[in-house]
Amino acid sequence: MGDESGPVERFQTYLRIKTVHPEPDYEGAVKFLRAQAEEIGLPCRVLEPVKGKPVVIMTWAGTEPSLPTVLLNSHTDVVPVFPDHWEHDPFGAVKTAAGDIFARGTQDMKCVTMQYLEAVRELKARGVQPVRTVHLSFVPDEEIGGVTGMKAFVETDDWQRLNVACALDEGLANPSEEMTVFYGERHTWKVEVTCCGRSGHGSRFLPDTAGEKLSRVLQSFLDYRRQQEQLLADHPDWKLGDVTTCNLTIINGGIQRNVVPDKFHACFDCRVAQRTPPDEFEALVRDWCRQAGPDVTYILSQKEDNLENSPISPDNPWWSAFSAALARLGVSTCPEIFPAGTDSRFIRRLGIPCYGFSPMNRTPILLHDHNEFINETVFLEGIKVYAELIPSLARVPA
């Protein structure tokens, strides 16, 4: 690959741009990406499907530009940090003597952004040109649901003109020698439960209180959570994406310490396994609320039934090209359902295969965690993976 300091230093520069919510520096990210496109020699344009939410598109023209294209997608934003819990400045991109690079976004997902760019840089330097045109998209707001990012983008004429046939997006690190590839996602639900009851003085045994009802609701959700956790433990061949998780994330209620409130509100983040029919899970929620007592209601503030999966059968040309490229590198892959949500779902809903893939093996899963890092060797090896994978996908025949 030649001088390896260049790719690592460019990666560190990108990590230092604070594209962190709630006020991500998208202007800084766009400026950096434009400079990379100019260095590599890729046409670049910036779109705004939503004002103030830039989508950067780079294009690497293929030898057969009439064919539907390959898309390499990544998001520019990162989640907030708690600096007191970090060993190093979370936006310092510090590299230790062991080669570990610490920064928010090292895994989720600025590493993939830079691996795409460095792979294309290397391939172009070798004189390689893809058969199908390859587009690179860099979208905002994935970390807050993607509604003002990828979801808005795929509804535009600019998206239609890209003529995408297959896409890549983010995955997860894998602590083993394998690399994980995701072909679908669990259903993402946000369940909000309101418990209403008798109000009065905090010194009394009041009947039918909101707190008692909330306690029953919590017990039902957490009992189900424990059952699903046990189900995962009982099936060693299953992954997190094969079961349903329910987590309490917010509780609101109360006005004064000696007043029993008339209302409590609880929010649950539920990721429903594809093996569980959505109607069946909602029936459970409805029953838990009914069992908790009168005046207990729920709403689904988010209900995404992600039923679309990308093909992973050997006879599918996209999966075959993906698998063959990694096999040539001696890389073992394990296909899974993604346990959380990514921008992949907006692409799959259009009937376009999209594979979630971050080439990070021998790496602990630290997305959204304190002390997020990637080792420079793993980062550099990922560039080699994409340098093999991108032309392989672009060679898939019409």
4 in active site = no
Joined together, the tokens standing for residue 295 give: 């005046």
Long-range CB contacts (within 8 A, 24+) of 144-147: 144/21, 144/77, 145/302, 145/341, 146/75, 146/341, 146/342, 146/343, 146/346
DSSP, res 267: E
Select from 93, 96, 91 the least CA-distant residue to 80. Answer: 91
Residues 6 or more apart in contact with residue 134 via CB below 8 angstroms: 59, 60, 62, 69, 70, 71, 72, 120, 390, 394
3-state secondary structure of 164: strand
Considering 142, 143, 308, 376, which one is annotated as catalytic? 142
Distance CA 224, CA 230 (A): 10
Token representation of residue 56: 């950067």
Q: Between vectors from CA 241 to CA 180 and to CA 229, what angle results, nearest 5°?
A: 125
Question: Is 77 tagged catalytic?
Answer: yes
Which single residue is written with the structure tokens 């962190």? 20
Q: Return the structure tokens found at 34.
A: 């434009």
Residue 38 burial by CB count (10 A; 0-12/13-18/19+): exposed, middle or buried?
A: exposed
Cα 271 from Cα 384, distance rounded (Å): 34
**Residues 6+ away with beta carbon under 8 Å from 97:** none
What are the CA-CA distances from residue 134 to residues 36, 148, 355 (Å)?
16, 24, 15
Among residues 117, 181, 113, which one has the least CA distance to residue 318? 181
Cα 380 off chain centre by: 22
Torsion angles phi and psi, residue 281, rounded to 5: -70, -40
Phi, psi dihedrals of residue 265, rounded to the nearest 5°: -130, 130
Residue 216: how many other CB atoms lie within 10 Å: 16
Give me the active site residues, please: 77, 142
